[in-house]
Structure 1
Amino acid sequence: MAFLNNTAATAASSTTGDTKNDVEVSVLPKDSISDLAWSPTHDFLAVSSWDKSVYIYEVAGNGVNPKWTFACDQEALCVAWSRDGTRIAAGDCSGQFYVLDLRNVSNDSTQKATPLKAHDAAVKCVKWTEIGGTHYLITGSWDKTVKFWDLNGTTATATVQCQERVYTMDTKDKLLVIGTAERHIHMVDLNNPQTIAKNMTSPLKWQTRVVSCFTDASGFAVGSIEGRCAIQYVKDDQASLNFSFKCHRQQDPQQRDIAKVYSVNAISFHPQHGTFSTAGSDGTFHFWDKDAKHRLKGYPETGGSITATGFSKDGNIFAYAVSYDWSKGYSGNTTSYPIKLKLHPITGDECKPRPGTKKR
């Protein structure tokens, strides 16, 4: 199923967004940005990088200011905030995760995070949740496991054995969604975190790049390397609402029947409106209303692949990272490839759902 106005060739001014007021962060990582996450309680933005470091910025009225940084042993692949905004976790290629407790930071900009060996392969995803009043860190790895940690000890409190390497993971309320290699998708009810509640094969035909939960936890979106996004509901009685659509494709100006296909690298849901963004290897991002099956806004190319995105806690700022996404292997990561971290202010009706549609 296709969205209205869903192709890059659409020229209608009402769906063409403007990036002229986007703020570019001046102090940047030295290598590609792998992930980013906003604090749920403050205007802090954390960024993980292939340069083996995590950077935390404070977004204030006078601009974007570097606040803290901490090092990992190997390339940092993921970053996440605890739900109370007091701790930051990151995972790296060594199989370790790191936790920085902001309640104990010094006045120095360079901090030391507490490491813990968690997995036998790289930690690709970290997320936080709360179960029974206890905050847990969830780690997903290329060793084909997802583990839960209450951080009071050095042993995982629960382990989920996945079908394949964990590539992507997201959680909302009591829903945990895990996307692995070979297009497996696992759904976990966090009331029973040791058991996979539901298994499925991705509705998309090619490798999964990202999963992202709806704001009401009734379902999730899936993005793949084939320039497609799928909307998937958890409950079987809502299966009729599932659909997929093409995005992040560019038609060849010389041959109209041929399109270049780009990976969907990041999907983020607006915390207030329930609309969502997609961003990809074509260097563009778009805002969508899934319930109206409508593209709200599309934005011009940023000069490089977009590797990570996220809305601030109140949804007023959309952050996106431009850097190499490894889609062309080691040889594609040249010193001239751009590294950017930009903040897009959300204005007017950019992310508001179409009138009459249900917010999720």
Structure 2
Amino acid sequence: MEFTKIEDNPPLDSVSSLHFTQKPENLLTATSWDNFVRIWSIDKDKAKFIGKQEFSSAPLCSSWSYDSKALFIGGTDNQAYLWNLEKESIESFGEHSQPIKEIFSFPENQNLILTGSWDKTIKFWDLRQGQNPINTTFLEGKVFSMDMRFPYLVVVDSTKGIYAFDLGSGYNCVQRTRSSFKQARVISLFPDLKGYAFGSIDGRVSITYLKEEEKDNNFSFRCHWKENEIFAVNDIAFHPKYGTFATVGSDGLFYFWCKETKSKLKKSIPFENSITRCSFNHDGSIFSFAVGYDWHKGFIGSTAKKERSLCLYLPKEKEIQAK
């Protein structure tokens, strides 16, 4: 398998979030536990470093503005930031009482931002109305993962509660369930908005449809398992064109899957460390993934000098197109 490591100013610690712009510019951003947020311009398997911002503590999440001219950032200092790339400025616009785990900007109104925190709240912000949220939604547990593809928002918290919101009709939760899996790691909406994929520390993924008439299509499967060893599913990314998806895990592997045929399309070579995050670019021609420690073995594992890298892979059609 041919892949390329980003050598131009790569992260020096594990990557906590990884996102392409949804525009043809192919800008890629990574937040890292080295306290930096970095941006690269990607041309196929070539990466050119654009810039970085340092924070007082680790950033955990980021979201591109719809026009790709700004980046919204949250992290362990409890602050939400706007990094204006054109003005080369950064400012805080909101705050939680605990770290911000997820942040998203609305696609058509770039003044509207939502944040999800370990303080058990989701806050909605309007950048035109100062530093007070316009709405606060309370959950039972800490926000562990969120995904938004307007108008839908899905959230999984530390109590294994899964919440679905239709933001087009307000801030009310339209569906609430509880997962039978162990601790959540990631939740990701289908590109067609019919449902979501949910991954956990027990190496499984659940495919769940939102509409009652499609519930018979729900299923779950084991993915990051090796004989009697179980590895966490750290991230899930859907291909924007085909609706197939990638999973990455603590076993140092990434897989491509088709949910319609319930089949595995590709298995990567093993890397010598966990894969923490992944992302497809706007047309699915580039797949980026981050190799680094994810603390699945606690402090003992953190002392090992293993690979930390940010990589690019160009998927072949047969590897990612539904069978």
TM range (shorter): over 0.9
Note closer, same or farther for the CA distance 1:193–1:160 as it changes in structure 2 (3 Å cut): farther
Partner of 2:242 in structure 1?
A: 273
Q: Equivalent of 2:6, from 18, 21, 25?
A: 25
Instruction: Point out the structure with max Rg over C-alpha.
Output: 1
2:306 alignment partner AA: Y
Partner of 2:260 in structure 1?
A: 291
Q: Equivalent of 1:40, from 1, 22, 38?
A: 22
Between the aligned partners of 2:285 and 2:196, the Cα distance in structure 1 is: 22
Between the aligned partners of 1:114 and 1:135, the Cα distance in structure 2 is: 14
For residues 114-155 of structure 1, the C-alpha deviation after alignment (integer angstroms, 9 at most, x for no partner) is 123410000011112246x45421111000001111222211
Q: Which runs of 4+ in 1 moved over 4 A?
A: none
2:150 alignment partner AA: D
Q: Which has the higher contact order (CA 8 A, sep 6+)?
A: 1
Partner of 2:223 in structure 1?
A: 247
Native 8 Å contact 1:71 1:113 kept in 2: no
Between the aligned partners of 2:254 and 2:46, the Cα distance in structure 1 is: 23
Between the aligned partners of 2:186 and 2:127, the Cα distance in structure 1 is: 27
Which range moved further: 44-53 or 75-84?
75-84
Secondary structure at the aligned position of 2:320 is classed as coil
For residues 67-110 of structure 1, the C-alpha deviation after alignment (integer angstroms, 9 at most, x for no partner) is 110122211111111222121111111111221112223xxxxx
Partner of 1:282 in structure 2?
A: 251
Residue 166 of structure 2 is aligned to residue 184 of structure 1: no
Native 8 Å contact 1:263 1:281 kept in 2: yes
Query: 1:343 deviation in Å?
Result: 0.3
Partner of 1:54 in structure 2?
A: 37
Superposition RMSD in Å: 1.5
Between the aligned partners of 1:160 and 1:266, the Cα distance in structure 2 is: 25
Between the aligned partners of 2:46 and 2:249, the Cα distance in structure 1 is: 26
Native 8 Å contact 1:223 1:230 kept in 2: yes
Native 8 Å contact 2:250 2:294 kept in 1: yes
Size of the alignment, in residue pairs? 320
Query: 1:172 deviation in Å?
Result: 1.2
Native 8 Å contact 1:305 1:324 kept in 2: yes
Partner of 1:150 in structure 2?
A: 126
Query: 1:264 deviation in Å?
Result: 0.3
Between the aligned partners of 2:259 and 2:244, the Cα distance in structure 1 is: 7
Residue 245 of structure 2 is aligned to residue 309 of structure 1: no
Query: 1:40 deviation in Å?
Result: 1.3
Secondary structure at the aligned position of 2:216 is classed as helix
TM-score, scaled relative to structure 1:
0.86
Unaligned runs of 5+ in 1: 1-18, 106-111, 252-258, 355-360
Between the aligned partners of 1:171 and 1:62, the Cα distance in structure 2 is: 28
